Amino acid sequence: MIIAVVGCTHGELNFIYATIEKLEQDNNFKVDLLICCGDFECVRYGVDNDCLNVPNKYKKEENDFRDYFTGKKKAKVLTIFIGGNHEAVNVLKQLYYGGWVAPNIYFLGYSNIHNINDFRICSLSGIYKKYNFYKRYNEHYPYDEISKVSSYHIRKYEIEKLKLVKDKVDIVITHDWPNNIEKHGDMNELLRRKFHFQSDIYNNTLGNPHTEFLLNKLKPYFWFSSHLHVKYSAIFLHSDKKNYTRFLSLDKAEPRKHFIQILNIEKRNNIPYLSFDHLPKSSANETEGKSQFFNDDYEKLLQHVEDVQRKDAQEGGQASTGKEAPKGEDVPTEEEAPKENTPGESNAQENTAQGNTAQGNTAQGNTEQENTAQENTTVEEDATAERKQLYICYDEEWLAILKANHHLLAEGSDKDYNLEKLKYPSKEDFEYIQDKLKNLENISIKGKDYYLVHGYNNPSYKNLWEQRQVFLNRFDFEELRMYDDFERLFFAEEVRKMDTGLPLDNPKLAEDQENGQEGKPEEPGQNNQTDEHGERSPNGDNTPHSGNESNQNKLSIDS
């Protein structure tokens, strides 16, 4: 899967998609998935702009997202994003569990785990501030300057849910950095570019201490962040000296900034590896695959990691064939690396530390015939490559964690969910979720069943409130106590205006209340319309998803 990772988006969707299209044309590949690491700024109309915590000099009357929301444009590549510290709060709050904000553009939620094909992706929106960490979600529309800021601060409840995860995670996406991660990369180079980080690094306050715990607990293969507007990569070697995490942070989306990275991630034996098959064969640099980003000490660390990987691959090969590998014979490796870019160019072909770690393993598990076939691959064949069909699916363990602890955040609870001790789901919780999932459309990937989230047409991506209701109804979860009565009326008025084609910039809540016509949130299934392009959603058809869908169409992917 070829993934494009982008730093802070800041509403520059046209620039990002144009950059991806140029990279695809120049290098003869297709990006399958775009990951945006926060500050997405999905502003649909004027009220969203009022709820956006951005200095007035940076605010735009309309940003690029509006064209994708109205259907004037459509994202060609599946785009997923998390929330940062510059977001339209009123939009993302309605999609606490995640949902579509436009065709092919999906918000991952406040904290969540999704399966996209066979990649398990963990996400956490917002940034850490100690003074709000133990507070409830008390922000409501209309937002003042204080509540616009506190609304995107991470709460303890989100961290505690993620701490319960036991199954292996492939990718973690956060907006701010895990604390102390800067010490595992070239910190001198970081301080040369961002000297004002010095005091935070000295005081151990540059990142989030709670995601540092998650880094050690989850041990993901990749961790993507942004927030600090600098490109930075690091290798975090875990305490077992065997598992490691490739960390990558990127700059904001502006010309002449290192805001995008193209990664070709393949799974072999259920382990993600970086591959460079999407790059031209002539792009090997002059340093024989060795990065100049790290100093000598880190080069030794990278070599140690490569040796551990090579040893694991040899042991895995012996176990599968039942034969011992000849002594003194190494697993073949590739010494290819992307070419260096000139300043100002997109760094999709830049050789990062993450790439160097996996270069020695690109050929592991491949036969000699497969390597020969790769070398004979022509540019014409690459040019005809098509984008892979991706499916956003629920994660069974995560849903069970929600089932075991959702009551703390539900309307009927008076407990402080940030102060309660969360519990790992019981066997009954897993059985409950498995029973609910049987009613949903599913897809088989490499022999394992995954269950699809609703498509962006059913309900319509424009109806954010109904999308959340669909999720709650599917698993019989109680409504959240994050919304007050005025907020509910405001969201219902939004939906009414969109359905009737009225302008959205001047809500008529006060006028309706005077006339005794208070709006109510619509029930799920009332607004099931096809998108403006008349196309199907990547996840399912255009029929209503009420939570009791029959499992008639079962798809299968074997590779």
Only one residue has tokens 């109510």, namely 520
pLDDT tens for each residue of 363-410: 333 433 333 333 333 333 343 468 899 999 999 999 999 999 999 999
pLDDT tens for each residue of 237-265: 999 988 999 999 999 999 999 999 999 99
pLDDT tens for each residue of 317-335: 555 444 443 333 333 333 3
Task: Strand 244-249: give its sheet, edge to edge.
Answer: 232-237, 244-249, 222-225, 171-174, 119-124, 111-116, 392-394
Task: Strand 442-445: give its sheet, edge to edge.
Answer: 448-451, 442-445, 555-557
| Kind and range of the H or E run holding 265 | strand 260-268
The top-scoring range by mean pLDDT among 236-250, 309-323, 538-552 is 236-250
Per-residue pLDDT for 525 more than 80? no
Helices (H) then strands (E): counts for the chain: 18, 17
Q: How many CB atoms lie within 10 A of CB 322?
A: 6
The answer, as to whether pTM is greater than 0.95, is no
- Please, which residues bridge with residue 81 across strands? 36, 107
DSSP letters spanning 387-439: PPP--EEE-HHHHHHHHHHGGGTBTT--S-TTTSPP----HHHHHHHHHHHTT
Least confident of 85-99, 106-120, 142-156, 323-337: 323-337
Encode 299-312 in three state secondary structure: HHHHHHHHHHHHHH
Least confident of 279-293, 464-478, 497-511: 279-293
Residues 251 and 231: beta-carbon distance below 8 Å: yes
Per-residue pLDDT for 286 more than 60? no
Per-residue pLDDT for 469 more than 80? yes
d(CA 516, CA 426): 47
Following CA atoms 395, 398, 403, 406 in sequence, which dihedral angle do they give, to the nearest 10 degrees? -130
Backbone dihedral angles phi then psi of residue 324, each to the nearest 5 degrees:
-85, 145
Cα-based angle 501, 507, 508 (whole degrees, multiple of 5): 100
Backbone dihedral angles phi then psi of residue 3, each to the nearest 5 degrees:
-115, 135
pLDDT of residue 309: 64
Packed helices 396-405 and 156-163: angle between N→C axes, nearest 10 degrees: 130
pLDDT of residue 173: 98
Domains of the chain plus CATH, in order, are 1-279+387-498 (3.60.21.10)
Q: SS3 of 357, please?
A: helix
Which has more confidence, 336 or 429?
Answer: 429
Question: pLDDT class for 557, splitting at 50, 70, 90?
Answer: low
Cα dihedral sign for 61, 67, 68, 69? positive
Q: SS3 of 3, please?
A: strand
Per-residue pLDDT for 79 more than 80? yes
Per-residue pLDDT for 6 more than 90? yes
